[in-house]
Chains A and B, each alone.
Chain A
Amino acid sequence: MNTRSPFKSAYLRFLQLISAVEAMPGLQDFDANEKALFDALVLHWSKGKPLTVREAISLSELGSPATLHKRLKRLIAKDLMLAYHDGTDRRTKFLQPSEKGMVYIEWLSAQLTAVQAH
């Protein structure tokens, strides 16, 4: 590829910049409502019974289906949750914490351990 072309060079630099901008700290944290949904999903997943998307947006104690749908999309967009198919059934998607979600859970565990130590 000819990277001496100013356009191509600018585009490649732009992609690198976007990647760095996305990794900037802050604005990643989720709000209390998203945290509540995240906790509920992780709790079910930890019991070996991950919720489906349809079940997750039916958690009426956390909000209406439309609200929970938006909230779930945000959790997925923030790479905290993953929606996956199980087996050959392509109609149902289950939810589990992503790698980043697991890092967050581990961080919370470490904080709890630190608090208990005091």
Chain B
Amino acid sequence: MTVRAVAEAAVLVLVTAVLYGLGYEFQGWLFLFSEHVPGVSWFYLPAGLRVLFVLVAGIYGALGVFCASLVINVLYMKDIGGTVLLLTAAASGFGAWVALWVLRLGGVIEAGLSGLTAAALMKFALLYSGLNALFHQLVWWFFKREGVLFWVDVWPMFVGDLLGALVFLYGLKGLLQLRKTRRAGIF
């Protein structure tokens, strides 16, 4: 890897980390009411950012989300620390990345997202939501985080991530449609 490539990778990690952090603040500001228990929401919009960052920036996007999640966990999840905090951040950052690799190995998504279809994108959102919820809950269950009920909490987290990812992607689609409409010249 050249120095330039390393610098670009660092910028991608930094930008995705900052944007994810802002997305988390936005979530807390607008959708706090959807919180099931601390760290689990019925609607989690930053899930869409994870999808976007991991699909676009790959491992650098995952690292960005991981770094931002570390800071978020230190600031807002006072009941966890050490290994649990680190693994929780890893679950946030790499859940989507693992989902991407599972689909790549399964031949659903090709390298560089070449020929990515809407159906493959939906499968990715679904698998990512499942893996993310599973990884988080497994970490908390294994390390006996206080008040964690694996089979109760895994569903709201799955639904919250899936809803967040879909709303984000459809929001993006709406924006693209709006831009296209504004640009459509007929005279």
Contacts and interface: CB of A to CB of B under 8 A. Distances in A.
Nearest to A81: B186
A48 to B, nearest CB: 21
A77 interface: yes
A27 B174 contact: yes
B110 to A, nearest CB: 9
Q: Which of A17, A21, A72, A83 has the most CB of B within 10 A?
A: A21
A26 interface: yes
How would you classify the secondary structure of chain A's contact residues: helix, strand, loop or mixed? helix
B12 interface: yes
B176 A20 contact: no
- Which of A5, A6, A26 has most chain B Cβ within 10 Å? A6
Given A5-B8, A6-B5, A20-B120, A14 B173 contact: no
A9 B4 CA distance: 14
Interface string B111-124: 01111111011100
Interface stretch (B26-34, B56-64, B72-80, B139-147): B56-64
Given A20-B118, A23-B118, A77-B177, A6 B60 contact: yes
A24 B181 contact: no
Nearest to B60: A6
A97 to B, nearest CB: 15
Contacts of B115: 16
Nearest to A95: B186
Contact of A53 (B56, B174, B187): B187
Contacts of B55: 13, 17
Given A5-B4, A18-B176, A72-B186, A23 B112 contact: no
B9 interface: yes
Given A16-B116, A24-B169, A77-B180, A10 B12 contact: yes
Contacts of A21: 118, 121, 169, 172-173, 176
A88 interface: no
A6 B9 contact: yes
B184 interface: yes
Interface in A56-99: 69, 72-74, 76-78, 83, 93
12 contacts: A6-B8, A13-B56, A13-B57, A16-B116, A17-B121, A20-B116, A21-B169, A22-B177, A24-B170, A24-B173, A69-B186, A77-B183
Q: Shortest 6 CB-CB distances between A and B: which pairs?
A: A16-B113, A77-B181, A6-B8, A23-B118, A77-B184, A20-B116
